[in-house]
A and B are shown apart, each in its own frame.
Chain A
């Protein structure tokens, strides 16, 4: 994959006043010169689109990804700095401004258009998920665990390597020595034979005259000095003393505060609004109606359809007081009778009818396999809707004035936000400036710009800067949810328990397309889906479709192991014998967890493996079930992300992904009653707390395979590993999440459920 066959991929330019730009930007022409005014200040030379050098030899890496805690800005900086041989202590980084030149979309898409070798795994990330999303091509998305494996490998490393080579050439010219005698170290150029040494900054301008190689040479992993090392994240010191600026920490002169309520039943309209009492509340300045959007579909349907009302006041609390005094009659457009029960009845009906079923994969003949089988195993699995519940409730600060909108927000797609806010206001995108701040959690929710649009519309109405803050209740009830899904399995086993066929039909396919596919060697497979849409808005939720399919697949394979009277680890291992990478990860988790050791009565152990976003994760979970209460004691994780650029960052992401998935598996349930979300805050939409958090041990395998993602792959594996451990402890097969809905006091001795 390290081939660049497309000329002009690395473009160069001269900026006013001299100096060098190396743009690893695409696709049409030389765009990088347009960046100069945006990112350079006095005394700095723009060395390329992803790095600038100051006259003090400090390098600033410009990262086209947002920071929501995942540490990608640090990992990406490590990648560029290592290839460029920068002194890590002389590296700063900042987030790229939200202008088109920094669209990471263009980077990925350009590779496709240019017929350049792009890892297959990127195609859904770049082309599917993100393309569906937008009405425009302006995307700067952080999601799909794509930062390191896409922007890092295809952008940061290339930029760093190219910049280094250009500096080497410039020094060779000046010193009149062969370029291959010039070495680099710690932001310096060195010519050993003549004992000459110079800072990069000295040659930054001269390097502008050099034509970059279209194929700069990457370091071999054995030469890495910064990649693969544990480095301190740059953003952490500001996050321990209260100085880190999140979107909600923005305060502007003359700023008002607003809070909002959208139709509780999705897609509802305002039939009648009485705001007279609200307007009498001390501090309330205005009440603003916000019309709902048109029908939008796709994974990132960018706006909610329901109407909303915002109350504007001189403080958030005052605005909330006002909101409580509103009397709204909603027109619920026929959705007010929908419940979770009716949704799952609909799924059941559609799965049975199989109307319009489309296949993801078909191999062999499942009917023939079933006919000759010694045993058939059938099971239905379900997962509920889930909210994201980011710690920082949604908020945005906007100032719309004289045809221009300035907006401060924490989001996963600054360019996309800019374009839709402009669209809603009827402005050109150039008249909207987005300032992206730290996100207090993202998890996919902050890719949807509905909250930014609201802030902009309210500011436009009142003519002053407005910070619009959602209550936690609004945050839980107006999400773009992880969809509720049902999956129906049938498998055929032979005389000795060998797996002959695998059939699966589930409702509603989204992204990534490979999520329901299995790694196991099964001759006959038929995996497909039927459409069964609901009125509940959906969106990407950490690991997207992997979050449900990981649970379904890895629970059902466990049932099959039981039916085959085989150890669940050995059963998987046999079916993965042709997949050495999978097998290594599975074995690592099992070995580190001491899989075959005996556990005490009441304890249980479960295993699961799943590949997502280019990374393989296996987990072994140990539980204790006491009087029906599950305690998750220990989670042993093996992860192969190809190469861990930032090992502690990867470990932290795995820990985070496990806890996020564990919260969902244990407690997570958004239920629909009377067309609206029944839950409202952390008392009824629980999150895992410290006392219930397991010990998590993460073991990294650097296989050297194509580099994968980190932010999401830990999440899909925990639910099935947990459910399988509960089965081991209790004999109760968990086929529906969350686990809190089970009565685990009921203990059956035989594992008869799969008979």
Chain B
């Protein structure tokens, strides 16, 4: 038996300890918002938070996150009563096309903003480097992340530069 805390709820699963967290979430806890894309931490579709940090659940054994706080896309909005600001920005910028990678993209972006409220473009690139979008919506993803960073952490000293970038 392995105990996990998923989106604030304690869950106990009876699985092989080396079973990847991804499949435990999807098949045993029926949280299908976290996606399978590659199985080797190459594409980021399976990204979830463990204690607030973005990890690839397809290569993370369930045993290694025992008793840890896990957040999936289904739990991203919990603290905000509705949508996480990034989710709203994703809608405003009409980011998703097929949408399959977007859970992972959002979880990577959310982890970035939690740790760095005023990311530079280089910070965004680094944080999002592990997430592939085959529909190629990188420009929209970047714009949505910037929008949230600006709204949440408005800094007059930065605003002109950011505006310029957004208009660029």
Measured between beta carbons, the chain A residues less than 8 angstroms from B74 are 241-243
* CB neighbors of B among A230-246 (8 A): 232-233, 235-246
Q: How far is the CB of A427 from chain B (nearest CB, A)?
A: 29
19 cross-chain CB contacts under 8 A: A68-B98, A232-B91, A236-B91, A237-B91, A239-B90, A240-B87, A242-B31, A242-B33, A242-B73, A243-B33, A318-B16, A389-B134, A393-B37, A438-B98, A438-B99, A440-B98, A683-B40, A690-B131, A695-B168
- Using a CB–CB cutoff of 8 Å, the interface residues on chain B facing chain A are 16, 19-20, 23, 27, 30-40, 42-43, 45, 72-74, 76-77, 83, 87, 90-91, 94-103, 106, 124-126, 128-129, 131-142, 168
Q: Do residues B100 and A391 form an inter-chain contact, with CB atoms below 8 A?
A: yes
CB-based contact A393/B36 at 8 Å: yes
Would B168 and A71 count as touching, CB distance under 8 A?
no
| Chain B residue at minimal CB-CB distance from A682 | B42
Contact A232 B94 (CB under 8 A): yes
**Neighbour of A239 across the interface among B27, B30, B37, B96, CB < 8 A:** B96
Q: Which of B32, B43, B97, B138 contacts A690 (CB 8 A)?
A: B138
Q: Are B136 and A693 in contact (CB under 8 A)?
A: yes
B51 to chain A minimum Cβ distance, whole angstroms, is: 20
Q: Which A residues lie within 8 Å of B37 (CB)?
A: 391-393, 472
Q: For residues 361 through 416 of chain A, which have their beta carbon under 8 Å from a beta carbon of chain B?
A: 389-393
User: Beyond A69-B98, A690-B128, is A240–B90 a contact (Cβ under 8 Å)?
Assistant: yes
Q: How far is the CA of A232 from the CA of B94 in the complex (A)?
A: 7
A240-B87, A441-B135 known; A472 vs B128 contact (CB < 8 Å): no
Is A124 engaged at the interface, CB distance under 8 Å to the other chain? no
Asked whether, in the complex, the Cβ of B36 is within 8 Å of the Cβ of A316, the reply is yes
A680-702 CB contact bits vs B (8 Å, 1 = yes)? 01110001111101011000000
Is A441 within 8 A of B98, CB to CB? yes
Mark A436-478 against chain B: 1 for CB-CB distance below 8 A, else 0. 0011111100000000000000000000000001011000000
Contact for B103 among A71, A242, A251, A657, CB less than 8 A: A242
Assess the A440–B40 pair: CB atoms within 8 A.
no
Question: Which residues of A have CB within 8 Å of B100?
Answer: 246, 390-392, 438, 440-441
Tell me if A660 counts as interface (CB < 8 A to partner B): yes
Residues of chain A within 8 A (CB-CB) of B42 are 472, 681-683
- Tell me the count of chain A residues lying within 8 A, CB to CB, of chain B: 64
**Which residue of A is nearest B75, CB measured?**
A242
**A275 contacts partner chain B, Cβ-Cβ < 8 Å:** no
Task: Give the residues from 285 to 312 in chain A that come closer than 8 angstroms, CB to CB, to chain B.
Answer: none
A contact residues vs B (CB 8 Å cutoff): 68-71, 232-233, 235-246, 248-249, 251, 257, 282-283, 315-318, 320, 389-393, 438-443, 469, 471-472, 648, 652, 655-660, 662-663, 681-683, 687-691, 693, 695-696
Q: What's the nearest-Cβ distance from chain A to residue B145, in Å? A: 10
- Which chain B residue lies CB-closest to A439? B98
B10 to chain A, nearest CB (A): 20
Q: Which residues of B contact A283 (CB under 8 A)?
A: 16
Nearest CB in chain A: distance from B95 CB, A: 8
Q: Which residues of A contact B39 (CB under 8 A)?
A: 320, 471-472, 681
Q: Which of A240, A249, A390, A660 has the most CB atoms of chain B within a 10 A radius of its CB?
A: A240
B95: which A residues are within 8 A, CB to CB?
Answer: 236, 240
Residues of A within 8 A of B97 (CB): 69-71, 652, 656
A241: contacting residue among B40, B76, B137, CB under 8 A: B76
**Which of B34, B38, B76, B139 is the one whose CB lies under 8 Å from A681?**
B38
Judge whether A660 and B136 touch: CB under 8 Å.
yes
What is the distance, in angstroms, from B26's C-beta to the closest C-beta of chain A?
A: 8
CA distance in complex: A439, B96 (Å):
12
Q: Is the CB of B136 within 8 A of A236?
A: no
Please measure, in the bound complex, the distance between the C-alpha atom of A233 and the C-alpha atom of B36, giving whole angstroms. 25
**B40 cross-chain contacts in A, Cβ below 8 A:** 472, 681-683
